[in-house]
Chains A and B, each alone.
Chain A
C-alpha cells in the first residue's frame, strides 16, 4: 500500500530541546515536502525537496532544517524548538502526474 509514514504522531517537548520528526514514503517519488497547519492559516509549506540532496525553503522555513540523503526519507529537524512552533505538521510526497499524498500528521507541543 502506497503511504507516507510520519513519526511520532504526538510529541510534547520543552523549549530548546532538539527534535526530529521522521517521514518516509514507499512510492519512489522524487518530490517531498513539509507543511505546518495552524488554525485560521491553513497549511503553509516549510521546506521541500525536488530530489535527493536537493532541498529548498518554502514559505515558513525559519527555525527548521531538513535533509534528503535518500529518496524515501525526509526528516524535519527543529534544532531549538520554541512555543511558536507548536503546530500540526504534515509530510507529503508527489509523483509525476499525481496529486499529493500526505502523512497522518505529527502534533507537536513545545512548552
Chain B
C-alpha cells in the first residue's frame, strides 16, 4: 500500500547540517518532493527530484535518492534558526497519470537551537 514514513523530530544546533530522512513504498513514483511548513503557514515547495536522479543540489539543500531502498533524504547545510519548521516528504505514485495524488509523510519537526 501507500505509505511514507519520517521521523517525528530532529534537533540541531545553528550552523550544523541537518539531515531529514524519509522512506516511501511506491516504486512507481516519478517525483518525490520536500515541503516546508512554518508555524501558522501553508506548505512551501522546497525542492523535488525525479526518480531517475540520485542527487539534486540547490544552494544549501541537497536531496539524495536511493531507489533500491526507497529512501529519500534532505540535507540542509549551515542550518539557521529560520529553518525551524515541519518538513514533509511526499511522493506522487504513477497511476498512469490519472490522479496526480500526493502521498505525504507525517512530517519532521526541525528545531534549530541558537
**B106 and A41 form a contact (CB under 8 A):** yes
Give the residues in chain B near A101, CB-CB below 8 Å: 45
Residues in A neighbouring B41, C-beta threshold 8 A: 104-105
Interface residue? B101 (CB, 8 A): yes
Q: Are A43 and B104 in contact, with the CB atoms below 8 A?
A: yes
Cβ B48 vs Cβ A42 within 8 A = no
- Does B53 make an interface contact (CB < 8 A)? no
A58 beta carbon closer than 8 Å to chain B? yes
Residues of B within 8 A of A99 (CB): 31, 33, 45, 48
How many residues on A have C-beta within 8 angstroms of the other chain's C-beta atoms? 23
CB neighbours of A31 from chain B (8 A): 100
Contact partner, B42, options A40, A41, A90, Cβ 8 Å? A90
A55 to nearest B CB, angstroms? 12
Contact of B43 with A94 in the complex, beta carbons under 8 Å: no
Interface check B52, CB cutoff 8 A: no
Which residue on A lies nearest to B47, using beta carbons?
A99
State A50–B45 Cα separation when bound (angstroms).
Answer: 21
Other CB < 8 Å A-B pairs besides A35-B104, A99-B48, 19 of them? A31-B100, A35-B102, A40-B106, A41-B106, A42-B4, A42-B104, A42-B105, A42-B107, A43-B43, A43-B88, A45-B102, A48-B99, A48-B101, A50-B99, A56-B99, A100-B102, A101-B45, A103-B42, A104-B42
Sample (6) of A-B pairs whose CB atoms are under 8 Å apart: A45-B102, A92-B102, A99-B45, A100-B33, A100-B102, A102-B44
